[in-house]
Chain A
Amino acid sequence: MAILFYIFAAVAVIAGLNVVLQRRPVYSALWLIVVLCALAVEYLLLGAVFMAFIQIIVYAGAIMVLFVLVIMLLNAHHEEPTHGSQFAQWLGAPLVVALLVEIGVAVWSWPGAAHVNPPPLRAGPKSVGDLLFHQYVLPFEVTSALILVAILGAVVLARKES
Chain B
Amino acid sequence: MLSPYIPILVQAIIVAGLGAAILGVSALVGVRKRSSEKLAPYECGIAPVGNARGRFSVSFYLVGMLFILFDVEAVFLYPWAVVFKSLHWAGFIEMFLYILILLAGYVYVWKKGALDWTR
Interface size on A (CB < 8 Å)?
Answer: 45
Q: Evaluate whether A133 and B80 lie within 8 angstroms (CB atoms) in the complex, with A54-B75, A58-B75, A147-B102 already known.
A: yes
B58 touches A140 (CB 8 A): no
How many residue pairs at the A-B interface have CB separations less than 8 Å?
124
B61 touches A69 (CB 8 A): yes
B94 touches A140 (CB 8 A): yes
* Chain B residues in 8 Å Cβ range of A73: 56, 58, 60-61
B46 within 8 A of A: no
* A4-B2, A50-B79, A143-B98 given; 11 more Cβ-contact pairs under 8 Å: A1-B2, A54-B75, A69-B61, A77-B53, A125-B78, A126-B83, A140-B98, A144-B97, A151-B66, A151-B106, A155-B114
Residues of B that sit less than 8 Å from A by CB: 1-2, 5, 53, 55-56, 58-62, 64-69, 71-73, 75-76, 78-80, 82-84, 86-87, 90-91, 94, 97-99, 101-102, 104-106, 108-109, 112, 114, 119
Residues of A that sit less than 8 Å from B by CB: 1, 4, 44-45, 47, 50, 53-54, 57-58, 61-63, 65-66, 69-70, 72-73, 75, 77, 125-126, 128-130, 132-134, 137, 140-141, 143-145, 147-148, 150-152, 154-155, 158-160
